[in-house]
Structure 1
């Protein structure tokens, strides 16, 4: 994002209102923080003014008892101001963290409900940045952004009012260098803003790169690409460093400039007050001492918020940029539709694809006018070369993607009319690439669903003949699986996925059979598990093995998203068509 667009965001009142609408349930906290900001602004100039009165009226006249009283009052005001400031800081920080907690839940809930096409097009690291880093920046809108800026402005206005009320000429003299400070503040704000945008983009790039390469570390190491990828990482990391250094340089210049302006203001104040006091009658000249002391304190109180207000503007601005990114995720309409209300306890399992067209992008169709029917209890094998559309068919049936044209029906009801949870409860899925999470075998099978008991898991494992295998693992069902199932073989991971599917007793089984890369013992277990899973269920199987093809009631032969042939194994071989040549080249050795 360019700095120009970034500059506009802070004045995007619609976006700002939307950010603050997140705090609507905590309106009382917002009002409390604003009330405390007003009280702090009113209290800020009181102590310097009391010091002026003490010097002019009591110290000069030797009224020590009044000096003690005023000092005690000052001490009391200091305690009250400190208490108010604590509550103000705590309230704004509490508000920010509470909003962030709720927002992060909303964003994560939205992300897990997005269509898979969004994950195909968006790096996981980018979504991670949106869910964690960007949302944390929204917190700063509350804790260090708008409300603290309002508090600082109120304090500045309150101090300026008292300064001009006490002595407007002295106020004008001491504030003479302020135009230089305003110019320096503007330059600083713009410079840091550009750097912050670069930092934010660099963080997103780092997250995406690291996430992608840690996930694919096996590929990197297998092809000895460590050095090349490391060079890429160094370039991204260097950009992150340079962006931060630019911001640090701006801070390194700005703060000394503020100190110089404060010193010049103080010098002008002392010079004018001293020279002016010599021209006044002794009584009035003596009063100038109290004014000079109070004005030095006023200037220090005035410069305290001015030192950080530009930084807070940048925090607010970056929070707004981050919130816009977060809202883009929340506003994404490409999510899984769940408005269907049909939720039967059980389906017979009849599947119909009626003139189905589907494209992952625009009109680059990967499935073209598909028409076929699977009767309840039938096993249908999908065969074809890579890219023929086999995986797309099973993804559409489970509503992981939306079709472009046509309709898909289960028991005569379009899948869009099913409640999503009910549809997926009826369709068990076993994918070729089994993903396992960190945790025990039991937790990976149940996906931490408290409604599924250990006894149910063991019963399902026994039904497909893999209970003994799981018990043979160290710790049995409590065996700890590393991230992505790194401590288990491909076949072992596949077996766990079968139990996952069986636990919900689905009427329809979607099976991406993958036994070509597993050891013989695992293959035998998997074949047995497949037979037990398929028995009595409607099954759509992506066939990788000849044994599955032969046992299928029907084979659908796909080529470039179109159906070339449908029939049994023997029927298709007799036709001497596309399946026959595919069988000879791909399956004959199976």
Structure 2
């Protein structure tokens, strides 16, 4: 009989995030050509994101205010072309990363399956089969999401934010400081949410593992359950486990979904600070409409 039953959460050892990510990203070394292509596309997309506010500023201050509509049309055409190329690049980047991540997923599953064959009997006797399946299937799918999101979202967003901040300070230090005044608040809020959200998702993974273990044991031993007339007791246990699974998910998502409101609040604070400094502190007419649009 398994020592760690479906009624008991597993005791997991948390490895260092840096070591885990380093080991995970080492699998990308087998796909150097694809990664180089993705990085090239990523650089182009970041450049377009940086150009868009500058194009908007030039359109308002240099073309609309001067009545240069032919020049404005050429600028709009240029903006449309580079943004269409960016959209195409994003699609290609997502497709390439999906293929790479799925290939890495197959490699990890094969390595894990080979490793499981080398484990002793105590490993299998100490936990239900359903919990082992939950680790093999569910956790590895999570690794795929980490790989894909880091390369396609986290890294380009970080580069874009850093580059935008540099450009803003080069153009006007006072407006840049006003627009980014809420950045420490946003960083603190996201750090708090990420830290506590990780703990809640860990709890949800354990509840999911318990539910999978119960379902596996219940289906494999359904004849025994029916022989002893234990259907009602089994249903009560299933309801309890599904309730724990649902509650843990809702608890994790409730905190995780706070990221959006925190970002919106900080954006509103930064925008208010930008217009206050530009219109009240510096005075009307000191900052052009295009500059406001670019900084906002």
Considering fraction of residues, name the structure with more strand: 1
Considering fraction of residues, name the structure with more helix: 2
1:144 partnered with 2:136: no
1:376-415 to structure 2, matched below 5 A, reads none
CA deviations on 1:488-543 (whole Å, 9 max, x unpaired) are xxxxxxxxxxxxxxxxxxxxxxxxxxxxxxxxxxxxxxxxxxxxxxxxxxxxxxxx
Q: Is the 8 A contact 2:48 2:83 kept in 1?
A: no
Counterpart position of 2:246: 241
Counterpart position of 2:18: 11
Query: Offset at 1:33?
Result: 2.2
SS at structure 2 position matched to 1:122 = coil
Q: Is the 8 A contact 2:204 2:252 kept in 1?
A: no
Distance in 2 of aligned mates of 1:109 and 1:53 = 60
Q: Can you give the 5+ residue segments of structure 1 that lack an aligned partner in the other structure?
A: 297-590
Query: Offset at 1:230?
Result: 2.4
1:212 partnered with 2:201: no
Query: Offset at 1:279?
Result: 5.3
Counterpart position of 2:6: none
Counterpart position of 2:129: 124
Note closer, same or farther for the CA distance 1:2–1:201 as it changes in structure 2 (3 Å cut). Answer: closer
Counterpart position of 1:199: 204
SS at structure 2 position matched to 1:62 = coil
1:171 partnered with 2:139: no
Query: Offset at 1:218?
Result: 0.9
1:66 partnered with 2:71: yes
SS at structure 2 position matched to 1:11 = helix
Query: Offset at 1:117?
Result: 5.1
1:91 partnered with 2:113: no
Counterpart position of 2:293: 293
Distance in 1 of aligned mates of 2:265 and 2:125 = 54
Counterpart position of 1:406: none
Query: Offset at 1:220?
Result: 1.1
Note closer, same or farther for the CA distance 1:20–1:75 as it changes in structure 2 (3 Å cut). Answer: same
Q: Is the 8 A contact 1:185 1:254 kept in 2?
A: yes
1:102 partnered with 2:107: yes
Larger radius of gyration: 1
Q: Can you give the 5+ residue segments of structure 2 that lack an aligned partner in the other structure?
A: 1-8
Note closer, same or farther for the CA distance 1:278–1:119 as it changes in structure 2 (3 Å cut). Answer: closer
SS at structure 1 position matched to 2:23 = helix
Distance in 2 of aligned mates of 1:276 and 1:293 = 18
Note closer, same or farther for the CA distance 1:243–1:145 as it changes in structure 2 (3 Å cut). Answer: farther
Query: Offset at 1:198?
Result: 0.8
Note closer, same or farther for the CA distance 1:122–1:106 as it changes in structure 2 (3 Å cut). Answer: same
Counterpart position of 2:191: 186
Normalising to structure 2: TM-score of the pair?
Answer: 0.88
Q: Is the 8 A contact 2:34 2:96 kept in 1?
A: yes
SS at structure 1 position matched to 2:157 = helix
Q: Is the 8 A contact 2:208 2:245 kept in 1?
A: yes
Query: Offset at 1:255?
Result: 1.9
> Which structure carries more relative contact order (alpha carbon 8 Å, separation 6+)?
2
Distance in 2 of aligned mates of 1:257 and 1:112 = 47
Query: Offset at 1:252?
Result: 4.0
1:562-577 to structure 2, matched below 5 A, reads none
Distance in 2 of aligned mates of 1:92 and 1:244 = 28
Over aligned residues, Cα RMSD in angstroms?
2.5
CA deviations on 1:239-291 (whole Å, 9 max, x unpaired) are 211211112221343322221221221122222222356455xxxx3x52110
Normalising to structure 1: TM-score of the pair?
Answer: 0.46
SS at structure 1 position matched to 2:18 = coil
1:75 partnered with 2:118: no
Counterpart position of 2:236: 231
Distance in 2 of aligned mates of 1:46 and 1:199 = 42
Equivalent residue pairs, number: 288
Note closer, same or farther for the CA distance 1:3–1:210 as it changes in structure 2 (3 Å cut). Answer: closer
Query: Offset at 1:136?
Result: 0.8
Query: Offset at 1:100?
Result: 0.7
Distance in 1 of aligned mates of 2:10 and 2:224 = 35
Distance in 1 of aligned mates of 2:221 and 2:108 = 30
Match of 1:160 among 158, 165, 179: 165
Q: Is the 8 A contact 1:96 1:141 kept in 2?
A: no
Query: Offset at 1:39?
Result: 2.6
Distance in 1 of aligned mates of 2:215 and 2:165 = 51
1:464-479 to structure 2, matched below 5 A, reads none
Distance in 2 of aligned mates of 1:203 and 1:4 = 14
